[in-house]
Chain A
Amino acid sequence: MDSLIIPATGRTPGVSFDFAAGHLRLTGESYPDDVAGFFGPVFSALHDFLARPERGAIRFDMELLYFNSSSAKALMNIFQMLETVARDGRPVTVTWCVEENDDSMRELGEDFAEDLRAVVFDLREIPAGGGA
């Protein structure tokens, strides 16, 4: 599988994983009624991609404007998968996008970044108004 594309809905994020380019993106909002049902296929596609022999750089853009606590667990799971391959020497950069005035999301970024050692973590400010 060279990509995993899932269009965003009102409560599930847009997934745009371009495995050929090593570019992964999550956009929109995440509070699915069935978290396991939504993230299960995302984890398994990511797991297969990370298990491949190629060792190209990976870029993960976290552009969610809102996620609930069950999605936070899912997101943490993705971060842990990325940290594992980064510790094996694969270059991984995570960009955590935050609207300029959103202190809650900025703080969450710090919570998620806390135990990343091998992954390069960037916090990037984006203009406000991406939607409530």
Chain B
Amino acid sequence: MLAQQYAAIKRDLDDKGIVFSFSGYLSEGILYSLGEALREKLTLEDADGPTVRRVFSVFVEQMQNIIRYSAEKVRGRPGGTVELSAGMVTIGMEGGKVFIVCGNTVRNDDVARLRDRLDHLKSLDRDGIKTYYREQLREEPDSGSRGATLGLIEIARRASEPIDYDFDPMDTDRSFFCLKVRV
């Protein structure tokens, strides 16, 4: 029964082309380890340096978005640097392309602002994204954002197709946010 249950989960992941999947508390340490594993896997598949870096770049920005903005976090001692944020990250292959899906809880109050940012990014063509990146590179970060805007632009820039996103309302305070990027 035990093996059957987990084999079913694994089969489901395999069928979706998922190479790595992590769900739970994410930290910078986990980002580093998963990132190393991801690069090794891509290198073994003979991806060239720039391709590996493009995938890696999207991965890092997505993971750091969860670590910084997940609405579900535990912090260690006050003033400590350990930050554990709940979320999930899934990396797989689909039609010869790598995809990265990240999911985390967000506060409903933040949904409209995040949606605006993502819709704006989706509306831009390659040159528009480039111009937007140049502007934001020279902007002071807005309070509370910790550089999120530039991170999202970086993601859109490395994507080979328009980014996909969605929100699933959980309760009156929170929604589950998902972002899928094909590189």
Q: Does A131 have its Cβ within 8 Å of any Cβ on chain B?
A: yes
On chain A, the number of residues with a Cβ less than 8 Å from chain B's Cβ atoms is: 29
Chain A residues with Cβ below 8 Å from B138 are: 76, 115
Contact partner of B150 among A11, A33, A73, A132, CB < 8 A? A73
Q: Is B108 an interface residue (CB 8 A)?
A: no
- Total interface residues on B, using CB and 8 Å? 35
Interchain CB contact under 8 A, B158 and A128: no
Apart from A10-B36, A104-B57: 7 A-B pairs, beta carbons within 8 A: A99-B50, A101-B48, A104-B157, A105-B50, A111-B133, A132-B39, A132-B42
- Is residue B53 contacting chain A, with contact meaning CB distance below 8 A? yes
7 CB-based A-B contacts, threshold 8 Å: A33-B28, A69-B153, A73-B141, A104-B54, A104-B57, A111-B130, A111-B134
Q: Does B123 count as interface, using CB distance less than 8 angstroms?
A: no
Complex Cα distance, B54 from A130, in Å, reads 15
Q: Interface on chain B toward A: helix, strand, loop, or mixed SS?
A: helix
Which residue in chain B gives the minimum CB-CB distance to A114? B134
Partner of A102, one of B50, B64, B146: B50
Question: Which residues of chain A are near B61, meaning CB under 8 Å?
Answer: 68-69
- Which residues on the B side are within 8 Å of A48 (C-beta)? none
A40 at the B interface (CB under 8 A):
no
* Minimum distance in angstroms from A70 CB to a CB of chain B: 5
For A10, give the chain B residue with the smallest CB separation.
Answer: B32
A105 to B138, CA, bound (A): 18
Q: Enumerate chain B residues within 8 angstroms of A105, measured Cβ to Cβ.
A: 50, 53
A102/B49 contact (C-beta < 8 A), A34-B81, A73-B141, A132-B39 known: yes
Bound Cα distance A120, B86 (Å): 46
Given known A34-B81, A66-B57, A111-B130, contact A73–B137 (CB-CB < 8 A): yes
